Amino acid sequence: MDHSATMQRMYDLINAGDIAGFATSLSDDFVEHEELPGLEPTKEGVQAFFHMLRAAFPDLRMEVEDLIVSERRAVARVRASGTHDGGEFLDLPATGKRFDVQLIDIMGFGDDGLVSEHWGVLDQLGMLQQLGAIPAGPPA
């Protein structure tokens, strides 16, 4: 199975706002290992998260910069960006500001080729600083 094609398709569907299409790549017993405050670590919880994200950032883009694939896992380094001109995000009213950060996604695949697990790391501090929710510190 071509896990790299599955990964790219998932990002393309998120970019297009097709969260239901994105979810077809997730197994019914999918487990989210990244904490999503207020959401269940399930297929349904991840769908709710992306609906919320797309509502807050209607122009959300996730562009794969690197992709490493093995038999059971795929790891992507992704640049995520968007403008906060939709709804509220994490109790923050729309700011009209853009964010542009990197994230790492690790997907585990089942024998059926569907994504059964996800681990992720997102530069949340950078994102919240760019949106003006947290003051930026002095340059390093």
Domain residue spans of the chain = 3-130
Encode pLDDT of 14-71 as tens digits.
Answer: 999 999 999 999 999 999 999 888 899 999 999 999 999 999 999 999 999 999 999 9
Q: Is the pLDDT of residue 111 over 90?
A: yes
Q: State pLDDT tens for residues 58-109.
A: 999 999 999 999 999 999 999 999 999 998 988 899 999 999 999 999 999 9
* CATH number of this structure's domain 3-130, picked from the four choices 3.20.20.70, 3.10.450.50, 3.40.50.150, 3.40.50.12160: 3.10.450.50
**Measured between alpha carbons, how far is 127 from 95 in angstroms, rounded to an integer?**
12
pLDDT of residue 37: 81
Residues 108-129 have a mean pLDDT of 96
